[in-house]
Amino acid sequence: MPERGVVLAVDIGTSATKALLFDGRGRVLSLARRPYPMATPRPDWAEQDPAVVYPAVLETIREAYASRPGGCAVDAVAFSSQWYSTMPVAADDRALSPYLTWSDRRSAAIADGLRRSEGGRRIYRATGCPLDAIYPLSKIIWLRQAELPSTPTRFVSIKEYVFRRLFGEYVVDWSMASATGLFDIRQRDWSPEALEAAGIDRSRLSAPVSPYQTFSRWAPEALADTGLPQGLPCVIGAGDGVLSSVGVGAVGRGIAAVNVGTSAACRYLISTPTIDPKERLWTYALDERWWVIGGIVSSGGIVYDWFVRQCAGRDPELDPPGPEVHALLNDLAARVPPGAEGLTFLPYLSGEQCPVWDPETTGGFFGLTLRHGRGHLARAVYEGIALSLARVAEALADAVEPIEEVRVTGGLLGSSTWLQIAADMWGTRILVPESPEGSSLGAAVLAWVALGMAPDLAVARDLVRPARVVEPDEGRQAFYRSHADRAARLLAGLKAARTSDIHNAGARP
């Protein structure tokens, strides 16, 4: 087997595109990043402009490639991309609107109607995707009903849009296709029933291909903009979530991956396409051997950022708080005992996704008294975010098997207090990888497998160097079991009150 070569990994994220050059040992040789904005023109809308994102992709490739060490030859390019984006395109490949991102909720009512139908349950059993507004299935229905400049001929993700510009083909890897709610994960093809629900046929979607599919005939204008040589192999790769699991070495039994970004997700690679019979989790196809099962919660970094801006003594209109603010909150929370002296925070400020997929769920602080200060509030927020992920881990243990170790990446890693809370609450060892570039490294691993430079994805385990290992404390673990029960009762009571309010409002003359 040839030695692992140098790979230029491109990660099209929600906040920015990054391009990283990895050597065969997974070390970063160069890095480029281009941020771009998220537009929220109306409540529940979250969209981005492909005319801004595509140039960012080209610029990062050009910079990372130009910054490679002298004499360094690049063996391949590979892609990672944000899941769930959707945009309509015309026959001439023009985008007819900005693309809708994962956090866009404008199709929530459509998704709710599908979820309550028998057909929706059959779609879930075929696609592994809960019927939720995060998925392109409901977004496509909304776009078909919207007033667009012309009739769409296709609905594509930002990654498919980029590949069309780079290689002249509309293709989608199995992982990205799986995250649409339209893809049969066992047949690895578009689901007829999901297509019918969306009101489209397969000609309106891209051709599904293996994540190892390799392209080498670049569009001349793309080469001119990036400086890459014609013929350089490009591996299509997969979605950023599953590649993050690969990139942190969460390949094999008992090892899960958690990422705490704007949202948060817990994922587990499995060798059988298992669908959760209780419809709590999603399952996506990766390649011929692996699927990924997991859950996403909206109560991740976005909730922590809300707390810091609105409740931590800062003007929310100022620039984002610096590291000194986060360090202060970490230290204040560390001085507060588990349970924050009776203060519980339910983090469902933008609805509840896994495990119950209820967009109407709300949250807040419960048990607040005059004795509680900023440290109590911060600890309660840390515990609330960790608890929302614990519910996903419990669903995974129920549907598949218990988790023994969690490899964590994302924005809350700067808080040693949060990491210890998470270990205690989940009852598992937490390993924090030295490199935060999980999805990019996962794309590089896929490229090595595609080019015959690695036998399988398990090679990633040998590349991950731990920066920190956090062990759970048995005593605090027992306490957090009772804390979770209390939070569950509060959440049930909150939902019951909401149902009662709706009933009473309907009964008024």
Residue 238 confidence (pLDDT): 98
Residue 502 confidence (pLDDT): 59
Strand-strand pairing, 214-215 and 234-239: antiparallel
| 374-390 b/e (C-beta count within 10 Å ≥ 16 → b) | ebbbbbbbbbbbbbbbb
| 66-104 b/e (C-beta count within 10 Å ≥ 16 → b) | eeeeeeeebbbbbbbbbbbbbbbbeeeeebbbbbbbbbb
Strand-strand pairing, 429-433 and 405-410: parallel
Specify the CATH superfamily of domain 7-248: ATPase, nucleotide binding domain (3.30.420.40)
For 100-168, give the secondary structure using H, E and C: ECCCCCCCHHHHHHHHCCHHHHHHHHHHCCCCCCCCHHHHHHHHHHCCCCCCCCEEECHHHHHHHHHHC
Q: How far apart are CA 121 and CA 116, in angstroms?
A: 8
DSSP H or E stretch at residue 377: helix 374-399
**Which residues of the chain register pLDDT less than 50?**
none
Neighbours of 51 (CB within 10 A): 10
Q: What 8-state DSSP symbol labels residue 427?
A: T
CB 142 within 8 Å of CB 110: yes
Q: CA angle at residue 252 from 300 to 429, to 5 degrees?
A: 50
CB 172 within 8 Å of CB 205: yes
- How far apart, in Å, do the first and last CA atoms of the chain sit? 77
Two structure tokens written together for 8: 């230029």
Torsion angle in degrees (nearest 10) through CA of 422, 423, 424, 429 = 160
Note if the pTM is more than 0.75: yes
Q: How far apart are CA 278 and CA 491, in angstroms?
A: 19
Nearest to 31 by CA among 415, 410, 444, 320: 444
Residue 2 confidence (pLDDT): 80
